[in-house]
Amino acid sequence: MYYLNTNQIFNKWTGGMRKHFDHYSKKAKDENYPARSVYKLREIQNKYRIIKPGFRVLDVGCCPGSWSKLALKELKASVVIGLDIENQLKINHPNFAFIKRDVYQITENELLNKLKSILLERTKTIPEDSQGKLIQFDVVISDAAPKTTGDPFSDSQKLLELTRRVFELSDKLLKKKGSVVAKVFQCEDLKPFTQELKSRYEEIHLFKPHSSRKESREIYIIALRKIS
């Protein structure tokens, strides 16, 4: 009879995972990005083409800045506004503006006024769309997550609550046909929430990037083209 050496198997598996993520960390460093999370957005972008040149982007939970930097550097967003309660940014770009605020406390009008002031400063005019309304954001992205407690149910609910807030802000911040990318944990309440979103967006997808850990419950909601 043969017995499996579980410690050997575990060490081999964890060693492989460390190698996998050391690769992403090293690659991020080599490409001058603050964190390997940049590759998650890059995968999402490659599949769904969320951000187009000239787009105005709101990045919720933007620190340390990898997603914002990718949006500006590679995807050619015209403006990125980053929102976070921390200020550990590793980004310096003329088209980037940072707001240090709690996502639950800031209002939609504050964010839109910030966007308006940036555009006004550049163009010296108040930009309007064809309906005469102030131009809003084209895309809202969020890799934000509250601190985990180790309790899967509690952590899932806290992140889902945060993601609900991101979509609540997006209802007013996004212009028609705008899109949202937001992180959640897989849980029982995820399906009802995505069903709810289907009445507000033309397409709803769930996507787990290859650069996410296999054992991680994180997954991204891709909400395409806001209906109104």
214 is catalytic: no
Of residues 109, 102, 108, 65, the one with CA closest to residue 84? 102
77, 56 contact by CB (below 8 A) = yes
Cis status, amide bond into 64, omega within 30 of 0: yes
Of residues 223, 118, 136, the one with CA closest to residue 176? 136
- Of the residues 90, 183, 198, 214, only one is catalytic, namely 183
d(CA 120, CA 127): 7
Q: 58: Cβ–Cβ under 8 A, 6 or more apart, which residues?
A: 80, 81, 83, 111, 137, 139, 140, 141, 169, 173
Catalytic residues, by residue number, are: 183
